Amino acid sequence: GRTLHGVDLGSAHAAFLDWLVGVVRSEKVSAVLVAGDVYDRAFPSTESVALLESALVRLCQLTTVIVTPGNHDSAIRLGFGSDLFRDRLVVRARPLDAATPVVIPDADGRDGLLVYPVPYLDPDASRVSLASWAAEPLHRSHASAMGAVLGRVASDLESRRQRARTPSVLMAHAFVGGGAASDSERDIRVGGVDAVPAALFAGSGLDYVA
């Protein structure tokens, strides 16, 4: 749904998706992780929805695809039907599902990778949905919400690693302190409410944070 100076970028997006499918096929990629933004707006055009559907169909014939919404997406719309999806398409749009990993099997069918998908944690909405995870009310900040999620992820990871040392990845749509925002980002900054300190991820036991 993105445009550039009024010019529709649908053909460029289609070309990129063709390239992506080709890479997944040639490299035998085990999983494609899409950490939002899938769409540029909460109400995407029918053409954008059709393009995404076509791309997911082709990708899921080759690999596992894990998708979370970003701050430009509508989490409710993107997450519609997620409980019906099986096998190769996983859409995680609810913060309370973030501490349950998607398990990617290795070549022998054993647990090869744990992927913890974290959707964009809106400072207002997520502090309500994550209230059951916190001992006290969460502060209105992205960092507070992410901290609550990371605590649950670390606990889940620790319990799993008592059985086996499986590599882990956390994929998140977040504004991490020290990163540079692009011109396309919608500014939601109110005294740092949007920022997540990079140090928050330290000590979680995760092998990689995307």
Sheet containing strand 64-68, edge to edge, reads 31-35, 64-68, 89-91
pLDDT at 56: 92
Q: What is the pTM of this model?
A: 0.84
Average pLDDT estimate for 7-31:
95
Q: Encode pLDDT of 163-174 as tens digits.
A: 989 999 999 988
Q: Is the pLDDT of residue 160 over 60?
A: yes
Element (H, E) at 46: helix 46-60
Residue 191 pLDDT level (bands cut at 50, 70, 90): very low
Q: Are 184 and 130 in contact (CB under 8 A)?
A: no
pLDDT digit string, tens, across residues 90-138: 999 888 899 999 999 998 989 999 999 999 888 887 777 787 777 677 7
Cα–Cα nearest to 206, from 163, 152, 142, 129: 152
Using pLDDT thresholds of 50, 70 and 90, give the confidence band for residue 193. low
Handedness of CA 11, 14, 16, 19 (dihedral sign): negative
Reported as a pLDDT band with limits 50, 70 and 90, residue 155 is very high
CA angle centred on 105, ends 113 and 198, rounded to 5°:
15
